[in-house]
Amino acid sequence: MTEKTLDRQRQEGEHQARLILSVVATALTGYATYLIQSYAPWEQWTYLLHTGLGIYLTAAFLAYIPRHYQRTQSVRRPALSLLGILSVVAVLVFVATGLHIAIAGQKESLRYVYTLHVAAATAALGLILIHVLGFLLFTPTERRDKLPTWTIFRTRLRRLPLNLCGWTVLIGAASVVSTFLPSPFRDEPVVTPYEYSYGPHPFRPSQTETSLGGFMDVKRIGNSDDCAACHARIAEEWRASIHSQAASDQAYQTNVNLLAEKKSMAATRYCEGCHAPVPLLSGQLTRGGHLDTPGHLREGVSCMACHGIDKVIHTKGVASFRLAVSTAYLFEGSKNPLANKLHNYLIRIQPRQHRRDMAREVLAEPELCATCHAQFMDKDINEWGWVKMQDDYTAWLNSPYSGQTQHTFADSRLRRCQDCHFPLVKGQDPSANEQGEIKSHRALAANTAIPWVTGDDEQLRRTQEFLESNKLRVSIDKPTRNQATRSRKYMRPDLTENVTEKPGYFYLGEEINVDVVVANVGVGHDFPGGTIDINEAWVHFRAVDAQNSLIFESGAIDPAGDVDRKAYFYRSIPIDRYGNPVWRHDLFKMVGDSFRKVIPSGQSDKVSYAFIIPSWTKSPLTLSAVVKYQKLNTAYARWALKDQTLNLPVTDLAQNSLSVPIRIRPEVVTGGWEPSMKAQ
């Protein structure tokens, strides 16, 4: 055997040894993270090591296969050859899936890739082991021991335990260093001294709790831009949503600053728990704090304000949730660009714990929405007593869609708050399901004011489409007359006694009553919902003749933008202790409602209009009814948004019309009919 051949075999032996060492190390690190799911620092460092070993193994294996084939193609051992081919196939699948995870990360719609990766790795290890054992079995010992390749291979493998110990020590050292690094989080109030104005609980009168038992660093809950690094499409929708703008909304800022002025900065915790959890939980809301910090306004209801919730405290509202600290990935909270990239990369390649923390079961429960979309006021704020306010959750429980009540037309399918306001839509995102769908985070509901003020035409259009999508129905009762006649000619009574539908018409000069029925068929709670004291929903009714001459109207909007005060409204009028209306939404004065009109889900409401048909009316009479809606009534909007000429958009939620003939009342005919006129 020439020196050149010996040198080639030595290189081959060393290459095989390194390859086997890489296979073993990759397998051990992979199975360790697969079987042990502690998410301790050592495990996360092992993810990174496993990924690096996998990339090295891929390069080494792809280089080894052609050489190994050339060297063994003359060997006539079909069983070993078949095992070798199967091993190569399994390794190629293992390599392909591993590279996909290393480059693209794990995606919800491609969970099978990870499963296939583990299965292919297991198959490859088993087949390679059998392949090597087969080689040892079919090759005589004396011949095998004379091969330089096998000698070097054995020598290298004896060093395997030492190499594994080295890797273990390296991971252990990195883990220890990670554990003792100073925490980037400061879970203390950002403003000191902090006032405990409502007892020992730091967040009262808000009902919010935290898993830490107190304050949270802004970086734990105000990090929505970090989420956007991976969830760009969802973050884009969230930015357009009312959730994102819950703190920056100019009307809300007017009200919360009024509360701070009239009561105290501590009193704003009542509002901020739902509108801006970041300043509440970070301890900004005390004397010396601010309501307009950039992060405060930009975050609003941040990503973590919902996805960090692990428990609903109660369903009475006023931010009655508990925010939990999520399991920390390495370098969480770091502002170092490289560390931040490694942190995000760890989440992408192994999002198992991230999925558990960010997609807790409570997020799919309607009770979650009750924590902010229900509200009460107690003596601490209004200095009067306990008052129940908006409660869309209880209204949903009483609806046909909750599955917990009996209705004559109850829907057999349970429909939660999330099903209507966070529907599945097509979108590219790591969280997309197998159909390529994600939960829409536009949170479409009934706020047309914010997108109109901010100039977000897309959000406004989508909101109006949502409101117009068969949520309400309106109908006009057709007039009927039991003594109706179509002519003055005689007709035998027995010919009409089975006629059930009587013709409908009006007479000139007649005083008529028209009934309009508004049905709540598609809203999962009362209509209107939410802040019904400052919203405006009403019925616009018109009666015109054939020449479009107006005969009667209710609910028109005048040139100044104000709605007819005599219109039929769906709203509430809260009052203070002196009986004065609380029209500025300064609810800390509220002690009750003087008026409240809503339509519960699955029910209807009847409105009656009475007027006289003038003598000049040209037939037919056209009756029309439109249910109109405006987020923020004009008086409040002009005060809160500080614009006395402001006119917000009005949305037509449902409409209907009816054409009715007009007749001249016939002269009274006296006398009866002659018996001779009877049919023979």
Q: For residue 491, is pLDDT > 90? A: no
**Using 50, 70 and 90 to split pLDDT, how confident is the model at 115?**
very high
Within a domain: residue 74?
A: yes
Within a domain: residue 494?
A: yes
Within a domain: residue 286?
A: yes
Do both 217 and 175 map to the same domain? no
Amino acid 12: pLDDT: 64
Q: Residue 456: CA atoms inside 13 Å, Cβ hemisphere, count?
A: 20
Q: Tens digit of pLDDT for each residue in 374-409?
A: 999 999 999 999 999 999 999 999 998 988 876 555
Amino acid 145: pLDDT: 55
Amino acid 673: pLDDT: 47
Amino acid 499: pLDDT: 56
Do both 544 and 616 map to the same domain? yes
Q: Tens digit of pLDDT for each residue in 325-374?
A: 988 899 988 888 898 899 999 999 999 999 999 999 999 999 999 999 99
Helix or strand holding residue 234 (H, E): helix 232-240
What does the DSSP assignment read for 517-551? Answer: EEEE-S-SS-BS-SSTTT-EEEEEEEEE-TT--EE
- Residue 663: helix, strand or coil by DSSP? strand
Q: Tens digit of pLDDT for each residue in 99-111?
A: 999 999 999 999 9
Average pLDDT of span 310-316: 96
Q: Which of 27, 20, 21, 19 has the alpha carbon at shortest distance from 46?
A: 27
Amino acid 680: pLDDT: 36
How many domains does the chain divide into? 3
Domain boundary among 135, 161, 180: 180
What does the DSSP assignment read for 68-83? Answer: HHHHHTT---HHHHHH
Top pLDDT among 76 and 148 is at 76
Residue 358 and residue 490: Cα distance in Å, rounded?
79
Give the dihedral of Cα atoms 258, 261, 265, 271; nearest 10 deg. Answer: -20
User: What percent of the chain lies above the pLDDT cut of 90?
Assistant: 65
Question: Phi and psi for 628 in degrees, rounded to 5?
Answer: -110, 155
Within a domain: residue 452?
A: no
Amino acid 666: pLDDT: 75
**Using 50, 70 and 90 to split pLDDT, how confident is the model at 497?**
low
Q: For residue 487, is pLDDT > 70? A: no
Q: For residue 202, is pLDDT > 50? A: yes
Amino acid 64: pLDDT: 79
Do both 21 and 154 map to the same domain? yes
Residue 46 and residue 38: Cα distance in Å, rounded?
12
Residue 668 and residue 456: Cα distance in Å, rounded?
64
User: What percent of the chain lies above the pLDDT cut of 70?
Assistant: 87
Within a domain: residue 380?
A: yes
Amino acid 589: pLDDT: 94
Q: For residue 678, is pLDDT > 80? A: no
Amino acid 549: pLDDT: 97
Q: Residue 593: CA atoms inside 13 Å, Cβ hemisphere, count?
A: 15
Q: Which tokens hold the place of 614?
A: 């003038």
Q: Tens digit of pLDDT for each residue in 555-575?
A: 999 999 999 999 999 999 999
Residue 609 and residue 506: Cα distance in Å, rounded?
14
The secondary structure of the chain in percent helix, strand, coil, rounded to multiples of 5, reads 45, 15, 40
Do both 93 and 150 map to the same domain? yes
Do both 258 and 298 map to the same domain? yes
140 prior amide bond cis, ω within 30 = no
Q: Which of 636, 652, 632 has the alpha carbon at shortest distance from 539?
A: 652
Do both 154 and 236 map to the same domain? no
Indicate the DSSP class of residue 564. P
Amino acid 599: pLDDT: 97
Average pLDDT of span 62-89: 78
Radius of gyration, CA atoms only, the chain: 37
Do both 221 and 360 map to the same domain? yes
Predicted structure pTM score: 0.86
**Helix/strand/coil (H, E, C) string of 81-131?**
HHHHHHHHHHHHHHHHHHHHHHHHCCCHHHHHHHHHHHHHHHHHHHHHHHH
Q: Which of 552, 569, 477 has the alpha carbon at shortest distance from 514?
A: 477
Q: Which of 424, 417, 422 has the alpha carbon at shortest distance from 109?
A: 424
**Residue span of the structural domain in which 417 resides:** 209-439
Do both 96 and 58 map to the same domain? yes
User: Alpha carbon 13 to chain centroid distance?
Assistant: 57
Within a domain: residue 677?
A: no
Average pLDDT of span 458-462: 97
Per the DSSP assignment, residues forming a β-bridge with 570 are: 537
Do both 151 and 285 map to the same domain? no
633 near 647, Cβ under 8 Å? no
Q: Tens digit of pLDDT for each residue in 252-284?
A: 999 999 999 999 999 999 999 999 999 999 999
Do both 300 and 239 map to the same domain? yes
Token pair 């219109």 in the structure block, residue: 567
102 near 51, Cβ under 8 Å? yes
- Residue 560: helix, strand or coil by DSSP? coil
Amino acid 146: pLDDT: 53
Do both 248 and 160 map to the same domain? no
Mean pLDDT of the chain: 88
Residue 637 and residue 534: Cα distance in Å, rounded?
8
568 near 607, Cβ under 8 Å? yes
Within a domain: residue 461?
A: no
**CATH classification at residue 593:** 2.60.40.10
Q: Which of 186, 188, 191 has the alpha carbon at shortest distance from 291?
A: 191
305 near 276, Cβ under 8 Å? no
Task: Extract the runs of DSSP E, i.e. beta strands, from 394-502.
Answer: 424-426, 437-439, 472-476
What does the DSSP assignment read for 32-79? Answer: HHHH-----HHHHHHHHHHHHHHHHHHHHHHHHHHHHHHHHTT---HH
Do both 419 and 547 map to the same domain? no
Q: Which tokens hold the place of 183?
A: 């925490």
In Å, what is the CA distance from 350 to each residue of 39, 251, 346, 356, 533? 10, 43, 6, 12, 48
**CATH classification at residue 36:** 1.20.950
Per the DSSP assignment, residues forming a β-bridge with 426 are: 437
Per the DSSP assignment, residues forming a β-bridge with 387 are: 377
Within a domain: residue 446?
A: no
315 near 362, Cβ under 8 Å? no
224 near 303, Cβ under 8 Å? yes
